[in-house]
């Protein structure tokens, strides 16, 4: 700046450098040229807006994936629209009801990465349980930040700021929570609240708290004008959180989503958009030995790739590559609704959003629009479900991304008794078996029990061998039960003997300490079980309470989701006795046992099984525990038949081998 003659500089030599003082005397003026630091430029720079989908392609590096490297929208093009809709200022809640392995979690990670860089604020991920939260932080969230040059610049550099339950960045925190811990939901304001796999959450982890989703939503009140709530899950039942939020329960609960979007693909042949549905996945029938047309075997369908997709408009047939091309040209559109003679819907997503500006939106993502899922694999899953109700539910949930509505007809005693065959009580069927198991339901005055024989995986056909009630004189008296399980001999029609190789016994409510001691006495043959009405998982490891623990004498104790296994049991009871996977009874099964098998009804609104007033339900409970035993010890191991010789039981495929492998 110019130095005017009227300005008096007092003692300039005391605060100006000699060089500047000399220039001031020579030129009568003083010029200073400076520049902003990198940090100052970063703060003051106005960056151009960028959509999350474009941001992901520039800055996201995919790890822990088959396709590691820079993110490419063309791999999962249907996710781009979801990410971009999340960032719209008026959208507050996004509900993603999606099939398995379609990239729904990666979509949310991309949005969080965009928020870190472009719209910072506290983020919280919520998972069904603590191990899942810690694993996702370690395997997905931290690697996402560390692998991106842009996101890595926000790390503080301190290792203590990267724990398994919190990531502290220079300008914002990321928290990890889980549904069973109210404390992780409380006492902190959150801008972006993410609920992952909501259908695995327990409804109410604490009597003093509301459900975990309601708790989490309250944490966003501070950011009332710019918060985001994201709910993602594979659907399960109609009454479960994700389906209830997306579509509600007809006639009972209105949907949370104001609008639902479906993905329309663009046919490579006719170049027209249409909604891709399972009904258009086709395959040829085959001729069997009896010269009848039948569906292909699911394994053959999947291995040979026998399915294709037929365009609903021009009837062109697509293979997987053409399907991928059709998806790349697709777009999200509003769900069509029939309003009398007028059909509404089919409006492109962003045209609708700009016009209507809804606060809560939902999307549904089936598996067959994903390039990671072949059309033949989808068809094979459907064919497996034609014979197995449990696999039918898996197809509806994991491929169609729809809620399963179980067709549970009222069970009648005659229906149960119709499962009887011509064997006497105590006789083992003359079938290839993996062995015998037993379940005991503990009462104050004795034990209800059932012994069952199991066929090989995958059908796991099951036959009742013996059932009933044995008394006990006092709380430590297990003699009658031991006689039935371990001393009495069970043979098939050929005289081969079978021992009971694995026992589950109920530890809850009656004589708990004594039951634990009995489990220790017969470990590892006997395992303790504890039923739960509200569990995120089908089963889990449990530990005895502090009162009943004994140093160096721990037992195997399982926590079981009783509602899950009773749902499976209902499906099993509907299989005809002549079909694989049936649930057989012997010819002497009593009317009382059949009545107990009809003692509970399912409350679909609550998602639990409830006892009909004044009925005993021991047989029903025991049968559900048997389903859990098959799930834990037989299904996941994929065992083959262990043969008939009871003395050699424990060979390849036996329950004894299953037990030793699983426990190791």
Closest CA to 127 of 185, 169, 172, 85: 185
Q: Which residues contact 529 (CB under 8 A, 6 or more apart)?
A: 504, 505, 506, 507, 557, 558, 559, 560, 625, 628
CA–CA distance from 243 to each of 96, 106, 199, 257, 266 (Å)?
10, 21, 9, 10, 27
pLDDT of residue 638: 39
The radius of gyration of the chain from alpha carbons, rounded to an integer in Å, stands at 32
- For residue 383, the SS3 value is helix
β-strand partners of 449: 440, 468
CA–CA distance from 190 to each of 85, 117, 222, 583 (Å)?
20, 17, 8, 50
Spatial contact of 599 and 623, defined as CB atoms under 8 Å apart: no
What H or E segment, with its residue span, contains residue 193?
Answer: strand 192-196
DSSP code at position 95: E
pLDDT of residue 3: 41
Q: Kindly report the number of other CB atoms within 10 A of residue 372's CB atom.
A: 15
366 φψ region: left (φ > 0), alpha (ψ -120 to 50), beta (else):
beta
Closest CA to 93 of 293, 256, 298: 256
- For residue 205, the SS3 value is coil
Domains 53-258 and 413-663 share a fold: no
- Take residue 532 and report the two structure tokens written for it: 């739960």
In the chain, how many H helices and how many E strands?
23, 32
- Looking at domain 53-258, which CATH architecture does it have? 3-Layer(aba) Sandwich (3.40)
Pairing of strands 173-178, 166-168: antiparallel
Classify residue 576 as exposed, middle or buried by CB count within 10 Å of its CB (0-12, 13-18, 19+): exposed
Verdict on whether the full-model pTM lies above 0.85: no
**Which sign, positive or negative, has the C-alpha torsion 464, 466, 472, 477?**
negative
β-strand partners of 404: 237
Spatial separation of the C-alpha atoms in residues 505 and 516, rounded to whole Å: 9
Burial code (b: 16+ CB inside 10 Å, e: under 16) for 202-213 equals: bbebeeeeeebb
**Which sign, positive or negative, has the C-alpha torsion 308, 313, 315, 317?**
negative
pLDDT of residue 598: 93
Spatial contact of 203 and 215, defined as CB atoms under 8 Å apart: no
pLDDT of residue 506: 94
Spatial contact of 278 and 309, defined as CB atoms under 8 Å apart: no
Q: Give me the phi and psi of 453, to 5 degrees please.
A: -100, 145
Spatial separation of the C-alpha atoms in residues 273 and 328, rounded to whole Å: 12
- For residue 412, the SS3 value is coil
Domain boundaries along the sequence of the chain: 12-42, 53-258, 413-663
Q: Kindly report the number of other CB atoms within 10 A of residue 279's CB atom.
A: 8
- Take residue 509 and report the two structure tokens written for it: 């409510």
DSSP code at position 157: S
Spatial contact of 662 and 630, defined as CB atoms under 8 Å apart: no
- SS3 of 484-547: the string is HHHHCCEEECCCCEECEEEEEEECCCCCHHHHHHHHHHCCCCEEEEEEECCCCCCEEEECCCHH
pLDDT of residue 541: 80
CATH class of 413-663: alpha beta
**Which sign, positive or negative, has the C-alpha torsion 389, 394, 399, 404?**
positive
Q: Give me the phi and psi of 185, to 5 degrees please.
A: -95, -15
Pairing of strands 173-178, 259-266: unpaired
**Which sign, positive or negative, has the C-alpha torsion 664, 505, 201, 235?**
positive
Spatial contact of 278 and 343, defined as CB atoms under 8 Å apart: no
Spatial separation of the C-alpha atoms in residues 583 and 455, rounded to whole Å: 11
Burial code (b: 16+ CB inside 10 Å, e: under 16) for 452-485 equals: bbbbbbeebbbbbbbbeebebeeeeebebbeebb
pLDDT of residue 637: 43
pLDDT of residue 341: 44
Spatial contact of 452 and 434, defined as CB atoms under 8 Å apart: no
Spatial contact of 418 and 481, defined as CB atoms under 8 Å apart: no
Closest CA to 238 of 229, 247, 228: 247
Burial code (b: 16+ CB inside 10 Å, e: under 16) for 153-167 equals: ebbeeeeeebeebeb
List, for the chain, all residue ranges whose pLDDT scores fall below the cut of 70. 1-16, 23-25, 27-34, 182-186, 203-210, 337-345, 406-410, 536, 546-547, 551-553, 604-605, 635-664
Spatial separation of the C-alpha atoms in residues 19 and 12, rounded to whole Å: 12
């Amino acid at each position: 700046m110019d130095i005017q003659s009227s300005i008096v500089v007092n003692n300039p030599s005391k605060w100006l450098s000699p060089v500047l003082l000399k220039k001031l005397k020579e030129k009568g003026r003083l010029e200073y040229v400076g520049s902003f630091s990198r940090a100052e430029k970063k703060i003051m720079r106005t960056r151009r807006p960028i959509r999350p989908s474009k941001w992901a392609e520039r800055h996201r590096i995919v790890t822990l994936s088959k396709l590691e490297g820079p993110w490419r929208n063309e791999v999962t093009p249907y996710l781009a629209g979801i990410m971009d809709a999340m960032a719209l200022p008026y959208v507050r809640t996004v509900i993603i009801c999606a099939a398995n392995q379609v990239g729904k979690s990666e979509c949310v990670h991309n949005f969080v990465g965009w928020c870190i860089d472009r719209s910072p604020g506290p983020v919280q991920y919520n998972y069904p349980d603590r191990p899942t939260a810690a694993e996702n932080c370690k395997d997905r969230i931290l690697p996402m930040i560390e692998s991106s040059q842009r996101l890595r610049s926000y790390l503080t550099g301190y290792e203590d700021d990267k724990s398994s339950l919190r990531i502290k960045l220079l300008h914002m925190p990321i928290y990890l929570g889980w549904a069973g811990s109210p404390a992780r939901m409380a006492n902190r304001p959150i801008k972006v609240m993410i609920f992952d796999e909501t259908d695995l959450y327990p409804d109410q982890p604490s009597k003093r708290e509301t459900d975990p989703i309601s708790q989490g939503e309250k944490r966003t009140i501070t950011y009332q004008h710019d918060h985001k709530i994201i709910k993602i899950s594979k659907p399960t039942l109609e009454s479960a959180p994700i389906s209830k939020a997306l579509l509600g329960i007809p006639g009972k609960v209105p949907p949370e989503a104001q609008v639902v979007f479906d993905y329309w693909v663009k046919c490579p042949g006719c170049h027209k958009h249409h909604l891709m549905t399972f009904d258009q996945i086709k395959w040829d029938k085959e001729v069997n030995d009896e010269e009848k047309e039948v569906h292909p075997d699911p394994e053959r369908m999947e291995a040979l790739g026998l399915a294709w997709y037929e365009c609903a408009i021009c009837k062109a047939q697509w293979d997987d590559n053409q399907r991928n091309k059709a998806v790349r040209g697709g777009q999200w559109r509003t769900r069509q609704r029939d309003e009398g003679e007028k059909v509404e819907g089919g409006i492109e997503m962003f045209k609708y959003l700009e016009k209507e500006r809804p606060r809560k939106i939902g999307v549904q993502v089936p598996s067959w629009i994903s390039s990671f899922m072949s059309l033949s694999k989808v068809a094979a899953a459907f064919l497996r479900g034609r014979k197995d109700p449990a696999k039918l539910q898996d197809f509806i949930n994991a491929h169609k991304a729809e809620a399963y509505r179980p067709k549970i007809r009222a069970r009648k005693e005659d229906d149960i008794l119709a499962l009887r065959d011509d064997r006497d009580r105590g006789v083992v069927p003359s079938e290839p078996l993996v062995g015998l198991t037993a379940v005991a339901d503990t009462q104050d005055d004795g034990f209800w029990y059932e012994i069952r024989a199991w066929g090989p995986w995958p059908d796991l056909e099951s036959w009742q061998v013996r059932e009933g009630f044995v008394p006990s004189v006092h709380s430590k008296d297990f003699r009658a039960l031991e006689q039935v399980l371990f001393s009495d001999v069970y043979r098939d029609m050929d005289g081969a003997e079978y021992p009971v190789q694995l026992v589950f016994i109920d530890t809850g409510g009656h004589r708990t300490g004594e039951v634990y001691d009995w489990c220790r006495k017969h470990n590892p043959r006997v395992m303790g079980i504890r039923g739960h009405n509200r569990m995120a998982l089908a089963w889990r490891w449990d530990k005895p309470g502090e009162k009943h623990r004994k140093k160096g004498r721990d037992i195997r104790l399982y926590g079981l989701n009783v509602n899950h296994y009773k749902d499976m049991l209902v499906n099993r009871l509907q299989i005809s006795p002549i079909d694989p996977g049936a649930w057989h009874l012997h010819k002497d099964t009593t009317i009382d046992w059949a009545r107990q098998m009809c003692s509970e009804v399912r409350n679909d609104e609550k998602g639990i099984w409830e006892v009909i007033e004044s009925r005993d339900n021991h047989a029903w409970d025991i049968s559900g525990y048997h389903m859990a035993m098959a799930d834990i010890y037989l299904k996941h191991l994929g065992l083959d038949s262990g043969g008939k010789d009871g003395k050699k039981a424990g060979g390849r495929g036996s329950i004894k081998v299953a037990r030793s492998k699983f426990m190791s």
